[in-house]
């Protein structure tokens, strides 16, 4: 892929640290080329830099927008001018659009996950969903699942860093959507078993099983799996986690986080441009699993 930079080329990109491994520049620059959009997308490692100054620099350069990844998804919020409904509920932003000088924050992680689940044939109205985790990605998925119409959501996390935040998300969902949400301590294995027994979808949004520590699973009792349960992991490195291997052996349908990554990018592209990303072309070139 060769990119032509002109005197009109507009800038956007990805803020966070680390960012050099990201597939986002490939996905977005390829799409700009395919659709004849004179924009460019670069990675900016925030490292020790002042986020406030970086955002001010972006404002001055009139960027079209940008993405934000760990560890800045929450910290970015105080530097923005407004938020989508989902981003405000989640309390984290991964996509910013420049709307005539106003920087508006969105969160497309949950949209990406829900689209990937639909693509795998999962019907969100088919039953309750159990979500493991309460960090940034899990919060985004929880809110989007509720907004999309999942009827019952069991959030399961250890009692620790994210517990109070998870309780806040549960309250927000119960107050603002038709979804009934609750929170379970992952140490309570009987309660976890009850959640899974009635669920049709299990989503691992913890980092348990992610490289380099791949021989662990957030579900240690494999008898909790049943064939009516679709099991998904938002981890994509490794492509098949221990959770997915155990679940497949128990007869469950499974999918990983690769296409969530693709669809969160497609949703960001749509927010910036109002256009559809040619997802199949991008999938074929950069997301073959
Ligand atoms: P995060 O905000 O740090 O949240 C991590 C979550 O995992 C928290 O709920 C945390 O619980 C839990 N956790 C971590 N270590 C644990 C352990 N040893 N035992 C039990 N729970 C543990 O991270 P994040 O941004 O949400 O990312 C989570 C995972 O999703 C990562 O693997 C990331 O690569 C992946 N991800 C994938 C995509 C995609 O597009 N596919 C997008 C975003 C993230 P505590 O809060 O109690 O520590």
Average pLDDT of the residues in 2-9: 88
Closest to 94 measured CA to CA, from 73, 116, 71: 73
Instruction: Provide the residue range defining the domain that includes 137.
Output: 110-256
Average pLDDT of the residues in 248-252: 97
Helix axes 163-176, 136-148, angle to 10 degrees: 10
List, edge to edge, every strand of the sheet that includes 230-233: 180-185, 152-157, 129-132, 201-204, 230-233, 253-255
* Residue located nearest, by CA, to atom 48 of ligand 1: 161
Average pLDDT of the residues in 131-155: 96
Distance from C-alpha of 34 to C-alpha of 55, rounded to nearest angstrom: 28
Contact 255 CB / ligand 1 (< 6 Å): no
Distance 250 CA to ligand 1 centre (A): 24
Closest to 68 measured CA to CA, from 109, 115, 40: 109
Closest to 230 measured CA to CA, from 64, 113, 90: 113
How many domains is the chain built from? 2
- 3 lies in a domain? no
Q: What is the CA radius of gyration of the chain?
A: 19
Residue 48 pLDDT class (50, 70, 90 cuts): confident
Same domain for 17 and 100: yes
Helix axes 24-35, 279-286, angle to 10 degrees: 140
* pLDDT (0 to 100) of residue 289: 60
Same domain for 125 and 93: no
Distance 93 CA to ligand 1 centre (A): 16
Contact 166 CB / ligand 1 (< 6 Å): no
Distance from C-alpha of 80 to C-alpha of 84, rounded to nearest angstrom: 11
Same domain for 188 and 167: yes
* pLDDT (0 to 100) of residue 127: 96
pLDDT, tens digit, 9 for 90 and up, residues 96-139: 999 999 999 999 999 999 999 999 999 999 999 999 999 889 99
CATH number at residue 54: 3.40.50.10860
- 200 lies in a domain? yes
- Active-site residue flag, 159: no
């Amino acid at each position: 892929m060769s990119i032509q930079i002109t005197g009109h080329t507009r800038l956007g990109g990805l803020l966070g640290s680390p960012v050099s491994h990201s597939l986002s520049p490939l996905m977005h620059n390829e799409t700009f080329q395919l659709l004849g959009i004179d924009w460019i997308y670069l990675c900016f490692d925030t490292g020790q830099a002042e986020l406030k100054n970086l955002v001010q620099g972006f404002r001055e350069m009139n960027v079209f927008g940008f993405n934000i990844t760990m560890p800045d998804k929450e910290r970015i919020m105080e530097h923005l001018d407004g938020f989508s409904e989902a981003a405000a509920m989640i309390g984290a932003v991964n996509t910013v659009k420049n709307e005539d000088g106003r920087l508006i924050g969105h969160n497309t992680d949950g949209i990406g996950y829900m689209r990937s689940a639909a693509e795998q044939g999962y019907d969100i109205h088919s039953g309750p969903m159990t979500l493991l985790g309460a960090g940034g990605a899990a919060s985004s998925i929880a809110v989007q699942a509720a907004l999309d119409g999942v009827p019952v959501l069991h959030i399961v996390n250890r009692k620790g860093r994210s517990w109070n935040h998870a309780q806040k998300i549960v309250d927000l969902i119960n107050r603002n959507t038709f979804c009934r949400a609750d929170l379970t301590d992952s140490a309570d294995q009987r309660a976890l078993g009850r959640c899974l027994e009635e669920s049709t979808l299990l989503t691992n949004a913890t980092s348990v099983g992610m490289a380099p520590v791949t021989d662990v699973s957030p579900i240690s009792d494999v008898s909790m799996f049943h064939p009516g349960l679709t099991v998904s992991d938002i981890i994509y490195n490794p492509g098949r986690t221990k959770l997915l291997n155990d679940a497949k052996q128990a007869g469950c349908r499974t999918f990983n986080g690769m296409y969530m990554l693709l669809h969160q990018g497609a949703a960001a592209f749509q927010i910036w441009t109002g256009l559809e990303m040619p997802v199949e072309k991008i999938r074929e070139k950069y997301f073959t699993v």
